[in-house]
Structure 1
Amino acid sequence: MPSVPHRLTTALDALDRAFAAEEPFPVGGCGYCYTEQDLAQLSGPLHLIPDNVLSSAAAKTPDHWDDFARLYRRLVPRIVRPMIMGRLHIDEELIASRLCQAEWTSWDAPLTAALGDVWSAWWETTLHTHPSPVPVRPTLAVIGVTTGSLRPWLTTWAATRHPAADAHLADLLDDVLYEGEITDLHMGFYEEYYATPELLGWLLTDVRERAGDPRLDAPYLRELLSTVVRDTE
């Protein structure tokens, strides 16, 4: 069985191959934000698109483009690999929101399967690496927002008995318990994903003893969990 880091490399390479079928096309877009040269570069070979033009296109709203979904689909290999390596220098949750706006789950099966495999390999690698290139919270946000659920990823985390996974848990607790953010926690650049029910329930049940954090014993958290579970039923 290949090592966890090797699985991520394999998944990223498979992503490149799957998306290689996305041919260049004439990209039309906002003439105020992009020059003719920028649009020509986005219309050309993927590997020749300059990093600054790529980063700008990865971040811009869909209304900047004549065919946003097609452009974003084609750019995925150039966006996802550096994002996972912590080298894209764009808010990871913005990328998650853009992928949702591009309706990535409606793409052809080989493409969605390849990206889904990358999410799984990235998550597993993260849980075995501390510190990781991208902190655990934005990593969880990306895969949770894009797949529409935190629960499968949290289940994997609970089952991963590794010092790195425990260190990430401590980091997450320090993050979401600061000033009670867990009580109204949203993920995604536009805060479109309400994360409190799944994450709070997981913290207070699946990993409560493992976390060993007395802050989780606060009565208001139990009361809140009862409320949000009732409201989502």
Structure 2
Amino acid sequence: MSCSEQLMTALDALDRAFAPERPFPVGGCTFCYAEQDLDELAGPLHLISEDLIPAVAAEGPDHWDDFPRLYRRLVPRIVRPLVTGRLHVDEELIASRLVQAEWTAWDPLLAEALRDVWVAWWRSALDTRPGGPVSIRDTLSLVTVTTGSIRPWLDTWAATRTPAADAQLADLVDDVMFEGEITDLYMGFYEEYHATPELLGWLLTDVRDRVTDPRLDDPYVRAHLGPGQS
């Protein structure tokens, strides 16, 4: 089974895991949402309009009476278009919203199904050359912020020695090296995760032989390595 097929399988499993989440009365900001929108959100999941999903996916917790429950119920409608580049909402904002919804504290079956999607999505991203619907940087940012750790994703990347993974690596380096952003790089819409210490150290050690960008040798960049990494 290809990585893209594994991703589709994980998304289908996500749908099944979240299927028992039942509709419930949705209360929210009536300045931003009409009563018919709230009624729609309280109805069958598959009948919620394509236009309403992105708006709610991006909206902050203070707009809803029960934000965690609403976001949990909408996960299948948010995550599938997200990973296929059709949601049209900043990926880092979705990561921050999932953290605010405390997704890791949901029922273990739900959390595991979502975690399986992140793993499959990451593998699929590394199996695809740059230019896809979601950049490798945005994908890495989302899986890092939602799980609270960048290291597992970097370890998978280091172990994936393929032309596609190397092309994605070059794309990430070119992105984060622009104007020296790597020296103070945060991930998440609210900059929840300071990525520089781990990411820079990884670039200069684990995968240095796969990166040809000479900017990584700049003394200013190397000065931002953490203790014991130089």
Taking structure 2 as the reference length, what is the TM-score of the superposition?
0.97
Alpha carbons 2:180, 2:221 under 8 Å: kept:
no
Percent identical among aligned pairs is 69
Which residue of structure 2 aligns with residue 84 of structure 1? 83
Task: Quote the Cα distance in structure 2 between the aligned partners of 1:102 and 1:228.
Answer: 36
- 1:4 Cα deviation from its structure 2 partner: 1.2
Alpha carbons 1:62, 1:68 under 8 Å: kept:
yes
Give 1:151-162 correspondences, 5 Å limit.
151-162=151-162
Which residue of structure 1 aligns with residue 216 of structure 2? 216
Give 1:22-101 correspondences, 5 Å limit.
22-101=21-100
Task: Quote the Cα distance in structure 2 between the aligned partners of 1:115 and 1:102.
Answer: 13
Moved more, 164-173 or 213-222: 213-222
The one-letter code matched in structure 1 to 2:144 is G
Residues 95-145 of structure 1 show CA distances to partners (whole Å, capped at 9, x for unaligned) of 000000000000000000000000000000000011322100000000000
| Unaligned residue ranges in structure 1 (runs of 5+) | none
Task: Quote the Cα distance in structure 2 between the aligned partners of 1:99 and 1:216.
Answer: 33
Q: CA RMSD in A?
A: 1.3
The one-letter code matched in structure 2 to 1:149 is S
Q: Which runs of 4+ in 1 moved over 2 A?
A: 226-230
3-state SS, counterpart of residue 50 of structure 1: coil
- 1:219 Cα deviation from its structure 2 partner: 1.5
Tell me if 1:134 matches 2:161.
no
Task: Quote the Cα distance in structure 2 between the aligned partners of 1:212 and 1:159.
Answer: 18
Higher helix share: 1
Alpha carbons 2:187, 2:195 under 8 Å: kept:
yes
Task: Quote the Cα distance in structure 2 between the aligned partners of 1:78 and 1:193.
Answer: 26
Alpha carbons 1:127, 1:164 under 8 Å: kept:
yes
The one-letter code matched in structure 1 to 2:122 is W
Task: Quote the Cα distance in structure 1 between the aligned partners of 2:219 and 2:209.
Answer: 16
Could you say if the C-alpha distance between residues 93 and 228 of structure 1 is closer, same or farther in structure 2, counting changes exceeding 3 Å? farther
- 1:220 Cα deviation from its structure 2 partner: 2.0
Task: Quote the Cα distance in structure 2 between the aligned partners of 1:130 and 1:21.
Answer: 37
Between the two proteins, the alignment pairs up a number of residues equal to 229
Alpha carbons 1:8, 1:118 under 8 Å: kept:
yes
Alpha carbons 1:16, 1:77 under 8 Å: kept:
yes
Task: Quote the Cα distance in structure 2 between the aligned partners of 1:63 and 1:162.
Answer: 44
Task: Quote the Cα distance in structure 2 between the aligned partners of 1:86 and 1:111.
Answer: 22
Residues 139-188 of structure 1 show CA distances to partners (whole Å, capped at 9, x for unaligned) of 00000000000000001001101111111111111110000000110000
- 1:229 Cα deviation from its structure 2 partner: 6.8
| Unaligned residue ranges in structure 2 (runs of 5+) | none
Task: Quote the Cα distance in structure 2 between the aligned partners of 1:56 and 1:212.
Answer: 41
Residues 34-93 of structure 1 show CA distances to partners (whole Å, capped at 9, x for unaligned) of 111000000001110011111111111100000000000000000000010100000000
Which residue of structure 1 aligns with residue 197 of structure 2? 197
Taking structure 1 as the reference length, what is the TM-score of the superposition?
0.96
Moved more, 210-219 or 31-40: 210-219
Alpha carbons 1:197, 1:228 under 8 Å: kept:
no
Task: Quote the Cα distance in structure 2 between the aligned partners of 1:212 and 1:170.
Answer: 8
